Structure 1
Amino acid sequence: MTTVLSLGKLLTSYGLTPGRGWLLAALGGVLMAMAPAPLGLWPLAWLALVPLWRLLAQPQTTYGRALRYGSIWGMAYNGIALAWITHLHPLTWMGVPWLGSLGIALFAWGAIVLWGAILVMVWSLAMVWCHRYYPTVTRLLLGVGLWCLLESLWSASPLTWTSLSFTQSPGNLWILHLGRLSGQFTVTAVIVAVNGCLAEIWHQQRNRRHVLGLAVLALLIGSHAIGWGLYRQPLADTAHNAIEVGIIQGNVPTRIKLTPAGVRLALRRYAEGYRTLATAGVDAVLTPEGALPFAWGTDFSQRTDLYQAVRQLKVPLWLGAFGPVADEHLAQSLLTITGDGQVTGRYDKVKLVPLGEYIPLESILSQLINRLSPLESYLVPGSPDQRFQTPFGPAIVGICYESVYGHQFRRQAVQGGRFILTASNNDPYPSGMMAQHHAQDLMRAIETDRWAARATNTGLSGVVDPHGHTLWLSQPNTYTVHRHTIYQRQTRTLYVRWGNWLTLGLIGLAGISLIWPQRNSSATS
C-alpha cells in the first residue's frame, strides 16, 4: 500500500500548474492504455485516473481547462488502446485508392477515439463543478456514479469498447467476478472509487488523510475478497450437460474472401474441418462470422461440399453466413443447421460495425464514404429479443463487435441461454486486437456464469469456463481445428436477474448527497 500511495503522490505532485497539467493528464491516459490487453498491466488502472482527478480538484482549474484535461486523458487512453483500428489500411484490395484507404482508417480511428474522449470530458466538467461546492464524500459518490452512468449510456451507442472494467481482463479474475453482481459497471465503480480516494488523500488536511488511506485499503481488499469468494464457487458441471464442440478457425483473409479463389478456399477449409471434427465424434461444429461469404439457403449452398458433409455425417453445424432478409437485404447471421440440412435456429447480428456494415448518419456521411469505398450495400441489424435455438437448448450468441455489449448477453441469459457461442472475423486486425476481443468475451462468460466457445476467422479462437479460465486459445493467422468440452448451465447471477442496478443506486446516493449538504460549504471539509 505504501508503494501505491508513494507512486500516486509522485504522479499528482508534479505538473499541477496549468502549463504542465496537460502532461499529467496525458500520462494518466497512457497509463490506463497500458492496463488492458495486449500489455495487460492491469494494476496501472488502479492509479491511472488519479492525475486527472487531482487536476480537476485544483482551484485554478476552469471549465475550459477541465475540457482540455479530460479530452487529453480520454484521447491518450482510447487512442493508444484502439490503435489497432488503423490496421483497416490498406483497402487497396477493394479498389480504394491508397490515400482514400488511409483516410477511411484514420476517420474510423479518430471517430471512436473522440467518442470515448467525450465521455471523459463530460465527467471532467461535472467533477470541476462538484469540487467547487461539495465535500469529499459527495465528490466520490458523484465521480463513481457519473462515470458508471456515462459508461452505461455509451454502451447503448454504436461506438463503445474501452470500459475501464476491461483493463482488468484477463489478468485479474478475482475482480472480474464482481461482474456477476451488476455487470462490468461493478468493476468500473471500484476502479474509479480507488482512484478517487487516492486523489483525495492529497486534497485533505494531514490529520484526515489516514481515513482515505484506510478507505483505499478497504476497497482494494474488500472488492478482491468478494471477487475471490465468487471465484472459488465450484462449477459442479455434470456429464449429462456436456457438449463436445468442434471449432474451425478458417484463416481466410478478408482481402480474398469475396473473390472466386477465396470462396473456393473457404468452402474447402470449412468442409474439411467439419469432416475432421464430425468424424472425431464432436456433438456440434462452430464456425466464425461470415465463414461462407454468401447467403445460405440458395441452390448454390445446397450444392456445396459442406452441405453434403452435414447431410452425410449428421452433426449439427453452427455456420456463420449471410441470412436473407425481406426486400433482398442480408443480415450477418449464425445458423443452426441440423443433420437433415435444415436451418432450425438463426441469430442475426444486432450491433453492426459502423462504416464496415452500415453508414451512421447516412444522410451526412454516405456521399463521403461512397466516394472512398466501392461498397454498395449494407447489412440489416437483427432484433434485440432473438432467441437462438440449438439441438441442446437455447444458446447465447455474440457476433464479432457484440462481445462488448454485456446487456446483449444478459438478455439472452434471461431468455434461458445455457452456453455462449461467439463468432468473429477479426481480420485484418493484429494480435493485440484479438487479445482485447478475447478479453471482452471472457468478461461475458464470468458475468453470466456460462461456458463460452469462440470461433474466429484469423484468431484468437478459444474456450473459456465460467470462472474466466482460458482452457484453449488458438494461434493467430493459422488454419486450426479443435475440439473441446463445454457444459450447459442454467444458473442466474445477480446481474442476470437484476441487470445494472448498481449504477442506479450510485446515482441515487450521489443525488441525495448533492441535496443534503448546504451549497457553498467548504470543498475540503
Structure 2
Amino acid sequence: MARLAGRVMLLSGFPRALLAFFAGLLAVLAQPPFGIFAFAFVAFPILVWLLDGATGSPDGGFIRRLWPAAVVGWWFGFGYFLGGLWWLGNALLVEADEFAWALPLAVVGLPAFLALFYALATLIARLFWSDGVGRIAALALGFGLAEWLRSFLFTGFPWNAIGYAAMPMPLMMQSASVINLATVNMLAVFVFAAPALIATGRGSRIGLTIAVVLFAGHVGFGFYRLAQPAPASPEPPLAVRLVQPVIDQAKKLDDGERAAVFEEHLALTAVAPEKDGKRPDIVVWPETSIPFILTDNPDALARIAEVLDDDQILIAGAVRVEDAGAGLPPRYYNSIYMIDGRGQIIGAADKVHLVPFGEYLPFEDLLSSWGLSSVAASMPGGFTAAKNRSLLTLPSGRTLYPLVCYEAIFPDEIDGAARRADVLLNVTNDAWFGDTPGPRQHFHQAQLRAVETGTPLVRAANSGISAIVDARGVLMVGLSYNYRGVVDTLLPGRMPTPLDDAMRSRVFWLGAIFLLLVAVFSRFGFNIRKN
C-alpha cells in the first residue's frame, strides 16, 4: 500500500485531477441507491494521498502554495456532485421545449459550483497539513466546516452530505439521535480517511485506533438503541393511510387531465382496508396532489366529503392562493391542506424554504429581463415563501410538523417544535426526477430527520418513496418507487433524544476545536520540538 500511496502522491497535472475526479465518483457509491459505505474507505485515502503531493511552490505566495490542494478538492467535489446529482436534469425534460436549454447548468453547472465547497475543505486542510495523523484531523475539520457552510449559504443545499454515507441503514443511523449531521460529517471523514495512515504518516497507530473506536461506537450504539423496545403507538391509536398515485408529471401539468388526476387520488382514498384492517383516521396525499386551486372549486370539496367518513381527515398537498391587495398580483404558496369529512378546510401550512429556480427566480428583476423563468413560471412571480412554519393540529389535539418536499433535507431548519410534535409530515412529488437515484436519496435524508428528532415520519410521495418510519428510522410500511397503491398502519410513538439542538451545535464546535488543536499540534508542534 505504501507503493500505491507513493505513486498517487507523485501524480501531477491532468492525471492528478483525473484521479481526484474518479475518487469523487467512487465516493458517490456510498450514497443511495447503492449505500455501499466501503467505497468511502477507498475514496478518501486516495484524496489524502493526492493532497500529500499537492504542494505548491515554496517560493510562491499564500494562494500559490495552497492552490494545488484547492484544485484537487474541486475535482474530487466535481466528481462527487456530478455523479450524485446528474438526475436533476430530468426535471427540465418534463417541459423540454421550454427548459431543455438549462440542462448543462443543472447537470454540470451546479456540481461545478458545489465543488467549490470541497475546494475550500481541502484548502483549509492544507493550511495545517502534516505527515501524520494531524492531516486526517485537518481534512475532517475542512470538510466539517465546508459541509456546515453548504447547509445554509446561498439558501443552502446540503444534499448528499458526506455524513449520510456513514448512515446507510437504521443500525448506523442512531448516532444522529445524539449528535447533529454537521458533527457526523466531520467524524465520518476522519474515519473514512484513516486507512491512508496504513501507508503513510506518523501516528498511524493512534489515528487508526481512534477511527476503529469511533466506528465501533457508531455501530455498537446502533445495536443498543435498536434493541430497546420499539416506540409504542399512542392511545388512542391513529390509523394512517398513504396514497401513492404514480401520476406522470406531464399529465399533472395538462389542464385537460386535472379532473382525472383528482379522481385517481379519490379512488385510492376509497379503497377498503385489508382484511381485519382498521379504517384510516387520516389519509395523506402527496405534494400538489390537488391539481387546481381548491378554494375556487367547491365541487371538489364536496367530492372529498363524499369519499371521506365524517370523522376522517384528508391531508393533501395543494397550491394555495392569497389576495395581495392594492391591485397586486395574487400570491401563490406550495401548501398542505387539512380537510375534514364534511369537506371543510380546517388547517393549512405553507412551504417556508423554496427551491431556487424551481419555485421562484432569484434576482427576479434582473434574470427575468434576460428571458429566464422558474420551472413554476405558470404561477405569476413563482411561489411565495411562508414567513414561519405552521404546525397542523388534528381535531384530536395531535400535532403534525409539516415539511414540503426538499425542506426535509435541512436538519438545522427543523426547530424544537419538531421534538414536541407527534409526527413529522413530509409530502413530496419526486416524479419530476423519474426513476433515478434522486427519490432514493431524498427518502434517505428524510428518514434521518426522524432519528434526529425522535419523531415518527409520515411521508407521501406521488411516485415514491412513500413510507411511515418510526422514531428510530426503522421502516414500518412503505411503497417502493413507481408502485401505485395505498398502505395503512398505526402511527408509532415518539422516542426521547439525549441532547437538544443547542447542545448538539456546541458539540459540533467543540469537535471542530479539538480537530483544529490536533492538526495545529501535528503541523507545528513537532517542528518546535525538532528545533
TM-score normalized with structure 1 length: 0.87
Aligned to 1:337: 339
Aligned to 1:275: 270
1:468 aligns with 2:473: yes
Aligned amino acid, residue 475 of structure 2:
T
1:484 aligns with 2:489: yes
Aligned amino acid, residue 228 of structure 1:
F
| 1:29-428 map, 5 Å | 29-58=24-53, 60-61=55-56, 62-92=65-95, 97=97, 101-131=99-129, 136=132, 138-156=134-152, 157-169=155-167, 171-205=168-202, 208-238=203-233, 240=235, 242-276=237-271, 281-300=279-298, 302=300, 304-310=302-308, 312-327=309-324, 328-368=330-370, 370=372, 375=378, 376-392=380-396, 393-414=398-419, 416-428=420-432
1:18 aligns with 2:12: yes
Q: 2:17 and 2:183 mapped to 1: Cα distance?
A: 29
Distance 1:49 1:368, change over 3 A: farther
Match of 1:458 among 440, 458, 463: 463
Q: 2:528 and 2:383 mapped to 1: Cα distance?
A: 52
Cα distance, 1:185 vs structure 2? 2.5
Cα distance, 1:413 vs structure 2? 1.5
Retained in 2: the 8 A contact 1:42–1:172? no
Gaps of 5+ in 2: 57-64, 325-329
Cα distance, 1:316 vs structure 2? 0.7
Aligned amino acid, residue 394 of structure 2:
T
Cα distance, 1:140 vs structure 2? 4.0
Retained in 2: the 8 A contact 1:285–1:318? yes
Aligned to 1:3: none
Does 51-60 or 28-37 show the bigger shift?
51-60
Q: 2:4 and 2:298 mapped to 1: Cα distance?
A: 63
Q: 1:40 and 1:490 mapped to 2: Cα distance?
A: 26
Q: 1:252 and 1:455 mapped to 2: Cα distance?
A: 13
Retained in 2: the 8 A contact 1:243–1:488? no
Retained in 1: the 8 A contact 2:286–2:429? yes
Q: 1:307 and 1:10 mapped to 2: Cα distance?
A: 72
Retained in 2: the 8 A contact 1:331–1:380? yes
Cα distance, 1:477 vs structure 2? 2.8
Q: 1:200 and 1:215 mapped to 2: Cα distance?
A: 12
3-state SS of paired residue (1:267): helix
Does 78-87 or 475-484 show the bigger shift?
475-484
Q: 1:500 and 1:476 mapped to 2: Cα distance?
A: 35
Cα distance, 1:470 vs structure 2? 1.9
Retained in 1: the 8 A contact 2:392–2:401? yes
Relative contact order (alpha carbons < 8 A, sep ≥ 6): 1 or 2 greater?
1
Q: 2:498 and 2:108 mapped to 1: Cα distance?
A: 37
Q: 2:296 and 2:306 mapped to 1: Cα distance?
A: 14
Q: 1:22 and 1:493 mapped to 2: Cα distance?
A: 43
Q: 1:214 and 1:125 mapped to 2: Cα distance?
A: 26
Distance 1:211 1:25, change over 3 A: same
Retained in 1: the 8 A contact 2:456–2:471? yes
Retained in 2: the 8 A contact 1:277–1:285? no
Distance 1:125 1:79, change over 3 A: same
Retained in 2: the 8 A contact 1:32–1:45? yes
Q: 1:63 and 1:243 mapped to 2: Cα distance?
A: 58
3-state SS of paired residue (1:395): strand
How many residues are aligned here? 506
3-state SS of paired residue (1:117): helix
Retained in 2: the 8 A contact 1:180–1:495? no
Does 274-283 or 36-45 show the bigger shift?
274-283
Retained in 1: the 8 A contact 2:181–2:411? yes
Cα distance, 1:496 vs structure 2? 4.6
Retained in 1: the 8 A contact 2:123–2:142? no
Q: 1:334 and 1:325 mapped to 2: Cα distance?
A: 14
Distance 1:457 1:372, change over 3 A: closer
Cα distance, 1:215 vs structure 2? 2.6
Q: 1:462 and 1:24 mapped to 2: Cα distance?
A: 39
Distance 1:377 1:511, change over 3 A: same
Give the percent of matched residue pairs that are identical in Structure 1 and Structure 2: 20
Aligned to 2:327: none
3-state SS of paired residue (2:232): coil
Distance 1:120 1:470, change over 3 A: same
3-state SS of paired residue (2:87): helix
Retained in 1: the 8 A contact 2:5–2:200? no
Cα distance, 1:287 vs structure 2? 0.4
Show CA shifts across 1:370-391 (max 9, x none): 3797644300112344323223
Cα distance, 1:137 vs structure 2? 5.7
Distance 1:388 1:299, change over 3 A: same
Retained in 1: the 8 A contact 2:134–2:521? no
Retained in 1: the 8 A contact 2:8–2:46? no
Distance 1:277 1:160, change over 3 A: farther
Gaps of 5+ in 1: 1-5
TM-score normalized with structure 2 length: 0.86
The alignment yields a C-alpha RMSD, in angstroms, of: 2.9
Cα distance, 1:56 vs structure 2? 1.7
Q: 1:514 and 1:470 mapped to 2: Cα distance?
A: 40
Distance 1:26 1:436, change over 3 A: same
